[in-house]
Chains A and B, each alone.
Chain A
Amino acid sequence: MRFKILIRLKSQILEPQGKVIEQSLKSLGFEDFSNIRQGKLIEIDLPDSLNERERLEKIDAACKKLLVNEIIEEYEVLG
């Protein structure tokens, strides 16, 4: 089964890439686009033999151990 993990910088942290994307979009005529922030998406395959709880526990452990730095980032697991 395939899982998606969305990782974003915490909302209180300035995300300068999003700001530049926003400026660029505005210059292309998308004047009403605002508060753009860029994050990252990680996709992972896990064996079907694991049950839902085991899969989520493993993903959570991987996020805490390597994938996410919780000082600056937050994450969300999408099924």
Chain B
Amino acid sequence: MNFKSAVITFPGSNCDRDALTYLKDLTQGEVLNIWHEESSLPNVDLVILPGGFSFGDYLRSGAMASKSKIIKDVISHANDGRYLLGICNGFQILTEIGLLKGALIQNKSIKFLGKDCYIKKKFNNKFNCNIQNNEVLQIPVAHNEGNFYCDQETLNYLHDEELIAFEYCSSEYSLDDANINGSLDNIAGITNKNKNVLGMMPHPERAYQDFHLSNHGKKIIESILS
């Protein structure tokens, strides 16, 4: 398979290495690591904006990273219809860029959440098409600002256009008492209108190797490759 992908590293990214091995192991293709100050992004099929604390999360999570030099090309990459995945801080960066709707604010509990969580697919897209409708994925989260917020009009839009990719649920697939961070409608991940850009708070790159607690994170890459 001739699948080519890239991971962007910002100062303060700390999941970029995991994202690189995740892509290398699962795509079997060429994987590039691009520094945020690079002025151009080579043609690749998939770009990951990794987790971490880009620019120390100063001002707002993802705010400064969203103004990096490389972002202009990341936007063109997305506008060309190629795949863009923002994980955790990467999701925050995508909302700050404006490629995804809404914002991620502080967890309702004011606690940093570092634990496994359960998510399920809400609406079908290229990132989750290999996941069954009744399937529960066990994938870790590690965030302080993962509480998805948007106004009512935007929330209606996300439902009407079927842009909600993942919802937090219980291990038994229930939405009740499963909202770990206060996100509106249990939202754990959303896409853009064209469904080629996905932002999600859980970390699939931390759930695919034998020593991980689950390998459910594989399904995102398997879906893209299918």
* A binding-site residues for B, Cβ under 8 Å: 9, 13-14, 16-17, 20, 65-67, 69, 71-72
Contacts and interface: CB of A to CB of B under 8 A. Distances in A.
A72 B110 contact: no
Contact of B103 (A16, A65, A67, A72): A72
Nearest to A9: B105
A72 B110 CA distance: 17
A24 B115 CA distance: 28
Given A69-B60, A71-B103, 9 more contacts: A16-B109, A66-B59, A66-B63, A66-B67, A67-B59, A69-B63, A71-B102, A72-B103, A72-B105
B75 interface: no
B96 A69 contact: yes
5 contacts: A16-B107, A17-B110, A65-B67, A66-B64, A71-B103
B146 to A, nearest CB: 13
Interface string B191-219: 00000000000000000000000000000
B149 interface: yes
Interface string B178-195: 000010000000000000
B110 A20 contact: yes
A9 B145 CA distance: 14
A20 B106 CA distance: 13
Q: Which of B64, B107, B149 has the most CB of A within 10 A?
A: B149
A69 B108 CA distance: 19
A3 to B, nearest CB: 17
Contacts of B106: 16-17
B182 A14 contact: yes
Q: Which of A13, A17, A72 has the most CB of B within 10 A?
A: A72
Q: Which of A9, A14, A65 has the most CB of B within 10 A?
A: A14
Contacts of A20: 110
Contacts of B63: 66, 69
Nearest to A19: B110
Contact of A69 (B103, B107, B151): B103
Interface in B30-82: 59-60, 63-64, 67
A13 B105 contact: yes
